[in-house]
Amino acid sequence: MDGPYQNQRLTIQQLVTGLHYCLVAEIFFWPPGTVTDPIPVGATPNSSDRLAQRNLSFDPSGNPGGLSSHTVQHTLMVKPSSPRIDVPTPKAKRQSKTAASQAIREEIEPDELIITWGNVPRGTEATLFLPELDADEILALSSLRQHPVTLAKVDANTISMKVADVTFIPLPARQLGNLAGLLTLTLPPGIRAGQVFKLSVQQCSGIVLPRRARKMLGAFQFNIPVSPDAEILPKAIHNLSILRYIQQTIPSGNRWTPIFTRWLTGLAGKVSGLGGDPTQVPPSPTGGDTAPPCPVPEPCEVRPHDLLCMNIPWDDCDIEGELELKLRFRRKGK
């Protein structure tokens, strides 16, 4: 009823586990009923051409600081890979139930993360931390592909990736639950302010049955603009403060606990590499900024400039706003 954190009510900000931007667009025709092909109930951007979703993340790299200021990170969550299924052959279907129970077991190919590195420098150090997966199992599945070795084990739950044109990372099958991870890149020396590096990450489904096509289940784009250290330091301090505030509300047994620990350790190192002092960055829901005071209400007007301190610029609106109020009355006690 109250979410996954053991009946502790949290704000939306405290439930956020990343810094990326997400936009979902719907192709909608007006007036209703003019289109003979409506969007089905329960449709998603993956299943309907009337819905589109774009995920974009920004994490700037410093210049000309050291490797800690060149480190960028991005959290992610993917759907689980599918487990095995039993698929009876047509011949087995015609046989008795006993014979049909001896169906051919079809092995579903694992889902894969496909990283297209774009113009990311090939000397970049890249790692992927998946605390719920075994790195050895990922490497074992990757070895089944006939391609050069591009993955290596860093620790029990972390793999390193060789930055090339494209990298394929298999996701071992699991029964239930999503997978959370942390992508970390350390750009090489020599990058210059004004450069922008872009990469994309897609999740491709496994092949369920023969002659069944694979499909993309989700994707996001990661942009890495390079800026002078002094320009990105305030934002890095701001993010570190807010994320430390969010970290305080994550239970120790939650899947995000090891990710936030590693993420914020890297971000604190980045703040230090940019010239700041991470030990002086306290947890804060505003990033250390002082919330602006609510403006003093003006005298009553026919059309007030503001309403309930909601910062609605009525003078710039072409359509009047509507406010629905529910009033409850009770008899005063004697």
In tens, the pLDDT along 23-50 reads: 777 776 666 666 556 777 877 776 777 7
Q: How confident is the model at residue 293 (pLDDT cuts 50, 70, 90)?
A: low
Is residue 234's pLDDT more than 60? yes
Question: With contact defined as beta carbons under 8 Å apart, do 76 and 131 qualify?
Answer: no
User: What are the pLDDT digits (tens) for 82-103?
Assistant: 555 444 445 544 554 444 444 4
Q: Which residues contact 125 (CB under 8 A, 6 or more apart)?
A: 160, 185, 186, 188
Q: Model's pTM, two decimal places?
A: 0.72
Q: Is the pLDDT of residue 173 over 80?
A: no
Among residues of the chain, what percentage have pLDDT more than 70? 69
Look at the alpha carbons of 235, 238, 243, 246 in this order and tell me if their dihedral is positive or negative: negative
Supply 166's token pair. 């494209």
Q: Where are the domains of the chain?
A: 56-89+102-280
Fill in the DSSP letter of residue 70.
Answer: G
The answer to whether residue 259 scores a pLDDT higher than 80 is yes
Q: At what angle do helices 256-273 and 229-247 cross, to 10 degrees?
A: 150
Strands (E), the chain: 21-26, 51-58, 61-63, 71-78, 85-86, 105-106, 111-116, 125-129, 151-155, 158-162, 166-171, 179-186, 196-204, 216-228
